[in-house]
Each structure stands twice: as C-alpha cells, then as structure tokens.
Amino acid sequence: MSQTKTKCLIIGSGPAGYTAALYTSRANLEPVLYEGHQPGGQLTITTEVENFPGYPDGTTGTQLMEDIRRQAIRFGADVRSGLITKVDFSKRPFIVTDDSGNEIEAETVIISTGATARFLGLPDEEKYMGMGVSACATCDGFFYRKKRVAVVGGGDTACEEALYLSNIAQDVFLIVRKDYLRASKVMQRRVLEKPNIKVLFNTQTQGLYGDEFLQGAHLVENIGTTKEQHFDLELDGFFLAIGHTPNTSLFKGVIDLDEQGYIVTKGQSTATNIEGVFAAGDVADPNYRQAITAAGSGCKAALDAERFLTSLE
C-alpha cells in the first residue's frame, strides 16, 4: 500500500482519458492515469478505424489507443493498470483508492470511464464482435456498403442507425421485439417510408452464425404463440442499438448524474457540480459517442483542470 500525490488524477483511459493525460502532462501537471478494466476503452474491440483524423489509410482501434497512450507517456504521464474502487470528493485534495489499496491524493480529477454498449446476452455477440457485429453504425457502417445489415432495437437510436445505414447498405432489417416502434412519430415515419428498410416486428434474435465472419442471424417471430416461426436471415452486419450504460456506478450519490446515469457537466465546460472534478468522453456524452469527440472532450477537461489550478494560485 502506497500514497501518491498528484495535481491531476485521470480515472479511465480510451481516447478521452489518454488525450487528457497527454495535455495535462505537457502542462507539467504530472498526471496519474488509471486505465480501468478495459485499457484503451471500447475502441480496443473495434477492428478498423477509418474516421479518425491523421490516419489516411486507417488503423486499428488497438493501435490508435496505443499511439495516444505512448504519446502521453512520452511527456511524463504516469499510466497505471488497475481500477479505482473508492472516491472521496468531500474535500480537496481528493482522496481516491485503487483496487490494491493504494491511495492517491489529487488536486483535480478527470473522470473518463466511458459507457458500455448493451448487448442481447447471446454468446455469439462476443464471437463476432468486430467481425460483423457492431454497436456503432456511424463508426462501422462504411464497411457494409451495398451489403445486407440488421439493426436491433425499436427506439430513436435504432431508427437513427437504420436510417444512417440505409444510405450505405443495400438492405436494412430493423429487428423489433414488440409489435410497435418506441421511437418518436417522425422517426417512425422516416423508417417506414424508406424503401430499403424492412421492419421485422415481434421478432427476436436467438443466435448468430458464420465461419470466421458473421453470415446471418437465427430469428424467431411471434415467440410463445401459435404463430411462432423460426427462420434464418442472411446478413453481413448486425448492429446493436439497444442503448449504452455509462460506467458511473462508482460516482452515484457523489456527483450529479442525469436520469440515464451520465455525468452532468456545466454548460460548454467539462466541470461537474464538484469544483475540481471534470468529466470527459462517453461517460458524459449520450449523443455522439465517437473517438474524435471523446478525444476533444479529454483535451477540454485537461484545459479546464489546468485553468482551475491556475485560478487557485
């Protein structure tokens, strides 16, 4: 058990955390960053990344995160493996404890713990992740140009993903568990009027199949009724659009969260309701969830932390 003092503690990695570490280290704040249970964040389970500026030929999610990580370390960031298990934001400097019992005394904290895509719970989802299964149409839709894809979900997010993909893919199937869409009326109308989107109501996914890559889904219609019917749907891509869960359980009752559990920030800044605590990336962003926007907010959080410390001086 040890104790560390730092001007800035960053909880979580990914594009937001690593970028915050890069900026705070260059500002001589000597940041300490804990990478969490998934070093590099969700991008590490993404194969190709073609929409991050500076990579004209594309790169892998793992390589992109490693590049930003090395850049932060080059300027002096103390990047550590492990989890933060306890936070005390009742007074400054803040006291934070990791999963080995080590304490970190921090003048400022940047939270970049991200959000986790919700899955159906099928064992095949993990098997084909990055090989046909995705939780982000904006990120991966380009790879399915003129192909057959399915989107699972019935809310606004699912309809938005289906509409986005309909401009890229040849055929889009919207798999809806109920006999209606939960999306807003305008989104419903747009989906139903789109010629290459077919809505499969009362339909559930029971499994996925394929050799190395996804080739289709095992579906069941009207399950538990006399009209129950099992069938296979050939697909090149399978997109999950049933929501994300922000990784904020550690901060419940400690800082302000919205109804969905995302950290609430003030105005255009990354500041939370506690002075000296900032939030960056998907943990405070239910709307965009892109690597570039997460990296941008990591930069903002670093600048906000630096300016906060300067104002104290």
Q: For this structure, is 140 an active site residue?
A: yes
State how far Cα 284 lies from the chain centre. Answer: 10
- Return d(Cα 33, Cα 141) in angstroms, integer: 32
Catalytic member of 98, 124, 136, 236: 136
96 Cβ contact list (under 8 Å, min separation 6): 9, 11, 84, 86, 87, 88, 103, 104, 106, 109
Q: For this structure, is 8 an active site residue?
A: no
Catalytic member of 8, 124, 139, 282: 139
249 Cβ contact list (under 8 Å, min separation 6): none
Three-point CA angle 241, 151, 184, nearest 5°? 65
Catalytic member of 140, 236, 282, 285: 140
Q: For this structure, is 136 an active site residue?
A: yes
Cα distances (angstroms) measured from residue 223 to each of 11, 119, 151, 231, 287: 44, 20, 19, 12, 33
DSSP 127-160: HTBTTTEES-HHHHGGGGTTSEEEEE--SHHHHH
- The count of other CB atoms within 10 Å of the CB of residue 71 is 16
Catalytic residue numbers, as ranges:
136, 139-140
